[in-house]
Structure 1
Amino acid sequence: MNQELEEKVVTIISNHKTGTLASVENNKPHSRYMTFFNEGMTLYTPTKRDTEKVDEIENNPYVSVLLGYEEKGQNDAFVEILGTSSMNDTQSLKDKFWEESFSNWFDGPNDPNYVFLEIQPETVRILNLNGEPPQEFSLKH
């Protein structure tokens, strides 16, 4: 894989915390806006344990994420990440990404209903990068 391209993707996803997460519900896409954090190419998004998106992902782990587009215009680079998701409720992750704004939904980083969806990319597309055609690479293990 192209190291320079991966660095561009990591920069985009690190600088854009809000994006869309699409999961599969009854064999159809179901999208919603989410807050994303990342460690390299791995994405994490906080959610409540008892939500339909957790059920959807348990039934079908394949997801799509869009991150990076802003309202500035058609030249904004963005990434599309296709991968698999699973629930991660490790306390170290919950502590690391805890934000006070989450208090609207959770009792704190120790709240048992506060979990993360961990997204492992399989295919990554970067689009609108300085007028270049879309670039795609695979991360399948």
Structure 2
Amino acid sequence: MSSQELKEQAMKIISDHKTGVLSSVENNKPHSRYMTFYNEGLTLYTPTKKDTEKIEEIEKNSFVSVLLGYENEGQGDAYVQISGTSSINDSQNLKKQFWDESFNQWFNGPEDPNYVFLEIQPDTIRILNTEGEPPQELTL
């Protein structure tokens, strides 16, 4: 499969699945939690509070892993495993673009200074569980 085909397949899985697992590093060990993800191309964004432990973890070690997909029966669901680096993005444009009314339970609107995004730049994307095919890897 060509690099372009892999990118297109990864984009489809990422765009079709908003809930996934974010793993960061805490005390030299993996620390995972479910998050909501948005994307622009292959760049991922996940909203969070500025005063959470995941922000502290990212500031100490920016390497992260994300799993997206594999939500239905599991057996035939393609999913992506993304390795990359994360940074904090508090762009007002981004905060307005991805604002959802459900965020009101955590934030006082899109202007809330505690409302930020983790921006994840992928280094490697592995596409797994695609109709019995071996995993495919896309290096960026």
Q: Secondary structure of the residue that 1:50 maps to in structure 2?
A: coil
Tell me the amino acid that sits aligned with residue 25 of structure 1: E
Q: Give the RMSD, CA atoms, in angstroms.
A: 0.8
1:101-135 CA-to-partner distances (Å, cap 9, x unmatched) read: 00010000000000000000001100011211000
| Cα offset, 1:58, TM superposition | 0.2
Taking the aligned partners of 2:31 and 2:78, their CA distance within structure 1 comes to: 23
TM score, norm. by length of structure 2: 0.97
| Cα offset, 1:71, TM superposition | 2.7
Taking the aligned partners of 1:96 and 1:70, their CA distance within structure 2 comes to: 25
Q: Which runs of 5+ in 1 are unaligned?
A: none
Q: How many residues align?
A: 139
Taking the aligned partners of 1:131 and 1:85, their CA distance within structure 2 comes to: 31
Tell me the amino acid that sits aligned with residue 73 of structure 2: K
Taking the aligned partners of 1:23 and 1:29, their CA distance within structure 2 comes to: 6
Tell me the amino acid that sits aligned with residue 33 of structure 1: Y
Taking the aligned partners of 2:14 and 2:5, their CA distance within structure 1 comes to: 14
> Which aligned segments of 4 or more residues in structure 1 are displaced greater than 6 angstroms?
none
Match of 2:12 in 1: 11
Matched, 1:33 2:14: no
Taking the aligned partners of 2:69 and 2:15, their CA distance within structure 1 comes to: 9
| Cα offset, 1:73, TM superposition | 2.7
Q: How is 1:43-122 mapped onto 2 (pairs within 5 angstroms)?
A: 43-122=44-123
Q: Percent identity?
A: 71
Taking the aligned partners of 1:4 and 1:137, their CA distance within structure 2 comes to: 10
Taking the aligned partners of 2:39 and 2:51, their CA distance within structure 1 comes to: 23
Taking the aligned partners of 1:125 and 1:37, their CA distance within structure 2 comes to: 18
Taking the aligned partners of 1:26 and 1:113, their CA distance within structure 2 comes to: 24
Taking the aligned partners of 1:134 and 1:34, their CA distance within structure 2 comes to: 24
Match of 1:132 in 2: 133
Tell me the amino acid that sits aligned with residue 89 of structure 1: D
Tell me the amino acid that sits aligned with residue 13 of structure 2: I
